[in-house]
A and B are shown apart, each in its own frame.
Chain A
Amino acid sequence: MSTAPLWLVAVRNELRKAVHRRALRLTWAGFVLVCALVSIQILNAESNDGGPLAMADLWPSALGGLGGLAGIMAGVAFALLLGSEWDWRTGRQNVIDGLGRGEWFTGKLGLLVVIAGAFVTTHVLTTGIGVLVVGEPLDGGWIELWHVKWMLGLLAGLTCTLTIALVTGLGTSGAGAATALFLVWIAAEPLMSAGLREYDDWRGWIGEHLPAGTFARLQQRPTWDPVFAERAAADPELAARMVPASATMLEALVWVVILTSSAWLLYRRRDL
């Protein structure tokens, strides 16, 4: 008889189910392809500049080159996985079989973190291979500390984006609805953000700090590159426009907590 705590059993079961799920495999394979294509494109552009390429200079192009694709693809995969539990009524069968609602939810959170980690790792490895192939460890070495921080920022940002899919997956009753609502959110948030930023009061502040926008900022070089921080220190106007990396990370974590709590409340109160 197994003695593992049930929340751990739930997480393991989620991973066992996920690795066999074609929707996740296809989305992930598509992501690998996109990463590879973007990597090739970026490295080709860098190569055209001529001269030896410093690895430390290639990382920013590699890490920032995907735009919002990682969030969209990972979010769609997660929404599909989560929403299917309603389509197949397996979510409620899991509870009937003996999982508490809290343990079931924890299982999904574990899956969320693993998917975020897998997509960021895929991104870093796929583009990193390009960096290793084309670049040379000139003065800056192989990699700098702020590149690693940037990678952690991508993980936090992607986790934040996946919690949006967690909310849509638990707030709707099917994979199609969960995925559609997630995509609508991702498409609508920049428009809403732009509208709110027209105001100079608290509404403008909210417009600056919406969850998908937070991930977008965590993907951008100025958030992480110390050169920009130095420039901002000397230029109050630039400093006013820049949000420090630590504050953006904190913002992402706050959104993770808010969205996860909302998803839990939605799930806890609903009939399965």
Chain B
Amino acid sequence: MTAIATIGLRKWYRSGFSRTRAVDGITFRVERGQIFGFLGPNGSGKTTTIGLLLGILRPTAGEVELLGRSGRRGLLEARRRTGATLETPNFYPYLSGERNLRLVARVKGAPDADVDRALDLVGLSDRRTDRFAAYSLGMKQRLALAATVIGDPELIILDEPANGLDPEGMREIREIILRLADEGRTIFLSSHLLAEVEKTCTHVAIIKKGQLIRQGTVDEIVETGFVYALRADDPAALAEAARTFPGAREVWTERDADADVFVELAAREPAELNRFLSGRAVFVSRLVEHRRSLEDAFIEATGDAAGESGGESTGEGSTG
């Protein structure tokens, strides 16, 4: 069952005689039950894509399907079964957190008890009567998350939900997201915090300059082949011996790494490698399968440090 599907989604902005391609033919699917991370450098088109999913931006071309529904009426109906925030938390600053959530509840046709539950979930029950304007950034983010769960949505779309939060706040948000996913909801989130995404998401897609460049499970994205990290008393001898192993494709060292030598094998045969090294009087103190971080994979895919590079100019409106 598909929660989100896009086919050739495009958003181009015209500015005078020039045309800016904020989103340029994106096609992807998010299956129900997934926690899907949507990653990309600043200005790569993340927020524009989410805006297109949510119907607040008009696509130049392409199709969107949400919860199995498409077309204007179908998408409107599907959006009522979706909870979402885009960029910053958007609420009426002169109303209390509770009043703001009640407005959302009425639109979603949800009972008032949903508001109480949502406030409890994000730990804002004590500050429910405070004006939104008086909330800290972390509280605003939590209120935004509370708004998304009102009406028992099947799909939750979050744009940078942990922005501006301290580590404790990030952990809380992560736990809430995981709890919501455990309840069977599909979560689609964009974030710059790649370590958080790696801890939270089951699947990711990476977008750059409005185009999708990688998509798959987190394991697939961080997959490095059969690379092993080794440590021994004599790193030079270790490297030399490893190079003579028949199944070794490549052997290298990395500065500041937590291993002396990295070996890429043609097959998953670390025991063979260990036996081979022992036979040459090289005794390893550590031999582990090397798994790169999502950040490494992201940088490799985008060719940029996380969140620091600008993608293609995205013109007017919000792009992320």
B200-216: CB near A (< 8 Å → 1, else 0) gives 00000000000000000
| Cβ contact within 8 Å between B107 and A90 | no
Tally of contact residues, B, Cβ under 8 A: 34
Q: Given contacts A20-B95, A271-B56, is CB(A88)–CB(B90) below 8 Å?
A: yes
Q: Which residues of B contact A95 (CB under 8 A)?
A: 54-56
Q: A residues within 8 A CB of B86?
A: 89, 92-93, 96
Q: Once bound together, how far apart are the Cα atoms of A20 and B58, in whole Å?
A: 33
- Chain A 88-113 per-residue mask, 1 if CB under 8 angstroms from chain B, else 0: 11101111111110000000000000
- Asked if A1 CB lies within 8 Å of chain B CBs, one says yes
Q: Answer whether residue A13 sits at the interface, using C-beta atoms and an 8 A cutoff.
A: yes
By a CB distance below 8 angstroms, the chain B residues around A93 are 85-86, 90-91
B84 adjacent to chain A (CB < 8 Å): yes
B57→A89 contact, CB < 8 A: no
Partner of B76, one of A1, A3, A100: A100
| Contact partners of B87 in chain A: CB under 8 A | 89
B-chain residues with CB within 8 Å of residue A89 when the two chains form the complex: 86-88, 90
Q: Are A13 and B106 in contact (CB under 8 A)?
A: yes
Q: Which of A1-32 contact B (CB under 8 A)?
A: 1-3, 6, 9-10, 12-13, 16-17, 20-22
A98 touches B108 (CB 8 A): yes
Nearest Cβ on chain A to B150's Cβ, whole angstroms: 8
B90 touches A92 (CB 8 A): yes
A272 within 8 A of B: yes
A96-B79, A96-B84 known; A20-B99 Cβ under 8 A = yes
> Is the beta-carbon distance between B104 and A97 smaller than 8 angstroms?
yes
B93 at the interface (CB under 8 A from A): yes
A94 to B100, CA, bound (A): 11
- A97 in contact with B56 given A17-B92, A89-B87, A271-B317 (CB within 8 Å): no
Find chain B residues with CB under 8 A from A272 CB. 51, 56-57
Question: Nearest residue in B to A84 (C-beta to C-beta)?
Answer: B92
Given contacts A97-B107, A98-B79, contact A20 B90 (CB under 8 A): no
- Tell me the complex Cα distance, A20–B131, Å: 11
| B303 in the interface (beta carbon within 8 A) | no
Tell me the bound Cα distance from A92 to B55 in angstroms: 9
Q: In the complex, A9 Cα to B103 Cα: how many Å?
A: 9
Asked if A97 and B147 make an inter-chain contact with CB atoms under 8 angstroms apart, the answer reads: yes
B-contact 0/1 string along A56-87, CB 8 Å cutoff = 00000000000000000000000000000000
User: Are A16 and B54 closer than 8 Å at their CB atoms?
Assistant: no
| Residues in chain B near residue A21, CB distance under 8 A | 94
Q: How far is the CB of B85 from chain A (nearest CB, A)?
A: 8
Inter-chain contacts of B69 with A (CB < 8 A) = none
- Counting chain A CB atoms within 10 Å of each CB, which of B85, B91, B94, B316 scores highest? B94
| Cross-interface CB contact of B109 among A3, A20, A94, cutoff 8 Å | A3
Q: Which residue of A lies closest to B147 (CB)?
A: A97
Within the complex, the shortest CB–CB distance from A227 to chain B, in Å, comes to: 49
The complex places the Cα of A269 from the Cα of B54 at a distance, in Å, of 15
Q: Could you show 15 A-B contacts with beta carbons less than 8 Å apart? A: A3-B109, A6-B107, A9-B107, A16-B103, A17-B103, A88-B92, A89-B86, A93-B85, A93-B90, A93-B91, A96-B85, A97-B104, A98-B79, A98-B80, A271-B317
Which 4 pairs, one residue from A and one from B, show the smallest C-beta to C-beta distance?
Answer: A93-B90, A98-B80, A272-B56, A89-B90
**A interface vs B, CB < 8 Å?**
1-3, 6, 9-10, 12-13, 16-17, 20-22, 88-90, 92-100, 269, 271-272
Interface residues of B (CB under 8 A from A): 51, 54-58, 76, 79-80, 82, 84-88, 90-95, 99, 103-104, 106-111, 147, 151, 316-317
